[in-house]
Amino acid sequence: MIARVDATAEALLWIDRLKAKHGSLVFYQHHGCCEGGAAPVCLSEGDYRSSRNDRLLGEIGGCPFYMSGHQFEQWRHIQAIMDVAPGLGSGFSLEAPEGVGFFTRLRFFSAAEIERLAVAGEPPCAA
């Protein structure tokens, strides 16, 4: 199976730190202007409210990674790779007070990967 989402080693370390501090986490890749297209939001599991159009793309660091349906339509042929860098993260995201910010790197799937993804079917809707 081809992963629609992945994470760098550094991002996985930060996920573990944040899970130790906040418990179960959820990541949400939004399409709106407020959080920016390449900035996933890290939330405590209980703070995520899904929309019927959100897609569950997979897990990173044991945490579900959702994407808005609109964003998924634009990125359906792209693998989202979570990374982290020094600086301020999203104001709503749990890593922001830690002085780091998650962001998404993009990798286009190959033609063969796109064919395998088509056979596997669409990612499930969240709600």
Question: What pLDDT is attached to residue 32?
Answer: 55
Q: What is the CATH number of domain 5-120?
A: 2.60.300
Question: What pLDDT is attached to residue 35?
Answer: 45
Give the tens place of pLDDT for each residue, 14-40. 999 999 999 999 999 976 554 445 789
Instruction: Quote the mean pLDDT of the chain.
Output: 89
Per-domain boundaries in the chain = 5-120
pTM of the model: 0.90
Nearest to 32 by CA among 92, 82, 83: 92
Give the tens place of pLDDT for each residue, 36-87. 457 899 999 989 888 889 999 999 999 999 999 989 999 999 999 999 999 8
3-state secondary structure of 116: helix
Burial class (CB in 10 A: 0-12, 13-18, 19+), 115: exposed
C-alpha torsion sign, points 3, 108, 124, 83: positive
